[in-house]
Chain A
Amino acid sequence: MKAFSDIRVASLLALALLVAGGFALPEWALFLMTIGLAKALVSLGIVVQMRAGLVSFGQGLFFCIGAYVAGLMANFAGLTDIFVLTGIAVIACLAVGGLFGPLLANYRGIFFAMLSLSLSMILYGVLSKMNSLGGTDGLNVAAPTFAGYAPEGRALSLSLYLYTSFIVVAIGAVLRTGFDSQHGLVSLAVRSNELRVEYLGASVRRTNAINYVISAMLGGIGGVITGLAIGHVDPEYAYWTTSGEFVFVAILAGYLSIPAVFVASIILELVRSFSNLYFPNTWQMVLGVFLLVIILTLPNGLGSLFHRKREGGS
């Protein structure tokens, strides 16, 4: 019970901090935070899989599906309600994740990474060739409404940020519960020793398939929010470099801590924004040096700074 109340307290504190920050931050920072938090959800999906020893190089698949749900629903069905769009994105990603998860769960290491990447690149190729969906130019996405409330200007940025904050905190709490659950512990066991897990009577494939589906949902939610925040979606959402950024954040954060993923994602957005401003042609190099320093100094990622070592547990 104590752990659950710890999660509740931490979640309420995080939400209070994010909400307070929302009213204090300028509009550009609200946008940056919204994007950083939304993309962190996608990276969190990779972290879910990393806990069982897998790294997906194709999270762009679900990020793109989520974003295109927002674009297509707005353009072809006139749907702009963010709650409905998020729900549809989750269902779409559940369906696709549920279809491919059991297949990909048969593979490990580089084979899993490349197969997941190939799926996202297939989507990239299909979207790029479909002129009815905007081709390589993509689609503009209408501003979201919030259960009938249609804000504009700063109110829109603030509403989207607050919605993202709520989603991020809720998902963080659920995932923390999941990481501490039986499934979460079995995932860590799979990471350490698959043979042992099978000889204890659990299915490694099932564990990996469940994690893939969870990561699909997270990718979809991140995609729908990002699409709505930017107001435009295009096939680049599924491109391998986009997936690479999510892997970058997951490695930067490590698999030990959920808050670390959000911190890492916001750091990436900050480094990208300011490096792009001051070193427009070499900002990727800045990112590379940053990642190198983290890997050398914190091999388990930023999360090892947040991680609490407990007696008899990690």
Chain B
Amino acid sequence: MSTSNPTGTPALETKGLMKSFGAVTAAHDITVSVPERAVWSLIGTNGAGKTTFVNMVTGYLHPDQGSILFQGRDITSLGPREVTRAGICRSFQIPQLCSELTVLENVLVALAIADPKPPSFFRKARESAAEDRAMEILKRFRIEEHRGRLMSELSAGVRKLLDIAMSMCGHPKVMLLDEPTSGVAAEEKFPIMDLVMEALAAENVTTLFVEHDMDIVTRYSDRVLAFYDGRIIADDAPDEVLNDPQVQRYVTGTAPAEASS
């Protein structure tokens, strides 16, 4: 299954991605073409292949077959560091933060690494310009009041925001968010997504997010990829996908009784 992009070189393309873990096929002929500045969501039950797709695009896993193109450049064989440097960043279902550092220091680390030059032994990490920039980022995500706290002192929502804020320090062109609202209190989900989407839109970042909450999917994405059993079974606008009988049967579980029998 593929999507076309009439506006020029897609931000991200995958062609025939295949990935198996022993007898389990986690990705089967995954072909997508994501245009610049698009906001797409990836839905599917657990084990459908969403995170495998994210892991392949971000270099954590290498596909058994197929290719991944970022702005026309083949990045199939690159690892996470090179993919990040190229302009594709990600956040994690379980936020990957530096637990021994404070919130501010986590962002300072991200800024130091985002610098085109390698982190210097002689350049202060906490110089005022870097701290100001870090505080700007924390304010953008409205977590500046937590700057002196360690990870163990933070709520799930703040951890999610910090995880995404750190990924944003590298000014990505494409961002993949793995379940940005999982584990977050229900009343925090929309405020968190509002903040995140606003920040991503402000920098024209092409966004793909994995999500189980269909209210969030319909509100924030302009296209949905529905995964089932390592395949994309639907690829269209949110309303179309959510009304697709196959999606209702295999993903959302909202199919009428006779359709599911």
B21 interfacial contact with A, CB 8 Å: no
- State how many angstroms separate the Cβ of A89 from the closest Cβ of chain B: 21
- State how many angstroms separate the Cβ of A106 from the closest Cβ of chain B: 13
Which of B23-31, B65-73, B113-121, B232-240 participates in binding chain A? B113-121
- The answer to whether B101 and A186 have CB atoms under 8 Å apart is no
Q: How large is the interface on A (under 10, 10 to 19, 20 to 34, 35 or more residues)?
A: 20 to 34
Q: Which of B102, B119, B126, B147 contacts A202 (CB 8 A)?
A: B119
Residue interface mask A187-207, B partner, CB < 8 A = 1: 011011101111111110011
- The answer to whether B98 and A180 have CB atoms under 8 Å apart is no
Q: How many angstroms between the C-alpha atoms of A311 and B102 in the bound complex?
A: 9
- State how many angstroms separate the Cβ of B58 from the closest Cβ of chain A: 7
Contacts A181-B124, A183-B121, A201-B81 given; indicate if A188 touches B100 (C-beta within 8 A): yes
Q: Which of A180, A183, A313 contacts B119 (CB 8 A)?
A: A183
- The answer to whether B113 and A201 have CB atoms under 8 Å apart is yes
| Residue tally, chain B, CB below 8 Å to A | 41
Q: How many angstroms between the C-alpha atoms of A180 and B125 in the bound complex?
A: 6
A131 interfacial contact with B, CB 8 Å: no
Chain B residues whose C-beta falls within 8 Å of the C-beta of A196 in the assembled complex: 96-98, 166
Q: How many angstroms between the C-alpha atoms of A195 and B79 in the bound complex?
A: 11
Contacts A3-B126, A182-B125, A193-B99 given; indicate if A199 touches B84 (C-beta within 8 A): yes
Residues of chain A in range 273-314 having any CB-CB distance to chain B below 8 Å: 311-314
Q: How many angstroms between the C-alpha atoms of A207 and B147 in the bound complex?
A: 25
- State how many angstroms separate the Cβ of B189 from the closest Cβ of chain A: 24
Contacts A199-B84, A200-B170 given; indicate if A181 touches B108 (C-beta within 8 A): no
Contacts A180-B126, A185-B108, A313-B126 given; indicate if A200 touches B100 (C-beta within 8 A): no
Chain B residues whose C-beta falls within 8 Å of the C-beta of A32 in the assembled complex: none
Q: How many angstroms between the C-alpha atoms of A305 and B257 in the bound complex?
A: 67
- The answer to whether A192 and B119 have CB atoms under 8 Å apart is no
Chain B residues whose C-beta falls within 8 Å of the C-beta of A198 in the assembled complex: 79-81, 84
- The answer to whether B169 and A200 have CB atoms under 8 Å apart is yes
- The answer to whether B104 and A313 have CB atoms under 8 Å apart is yes
B123 interfacial contact with A, CB 8 Å: yes
- The answer to whether A182 and B115 have CB atoms under 8 Å apart is yes
Q: How many angstroms between the C-alpha atoms of A201 and B123 in the bound complex?
A: 18
A170 interfacial contact with B, CB 8 Å: no
- State how many angstroms separate the Cβ of B167 from the closest Cβ of chain A: 8
A210 interfacial contact with B, CB 8 Å: yes
Most chain B CB inside 10 Å of its own CB: which residue of A3, A178, A188:
A188
Residues of A that sit less than 8 Å from B by CB: 3-4, 177-178, 180-186, 188-189, 191-193, 195-203, 206-207, 210, 311-314
A–B pairs, 18, beta carbons within 8 Å? A3-B124, A177-B122, A180-B125, A182-B112, A182-B121, A183-B120, A185-B101, A185-B112, A185-B119, A188-B100, A188-B105, A189-B106, A200-B166, A201-B84, A202-B113, A203-B81, A313-B148, A314-B105
Closest 3 pairs between A and B when the two form their complex, measured CB to CB: A192-B98, A182-B119, A182-B112
Knowing that A198-B81, A210-B121 touch, tell me 5 more A-B residue pairs with CB under 8 angstroms: A178-B122, A181-B119, A183-B119, A312-B105, A313-B126
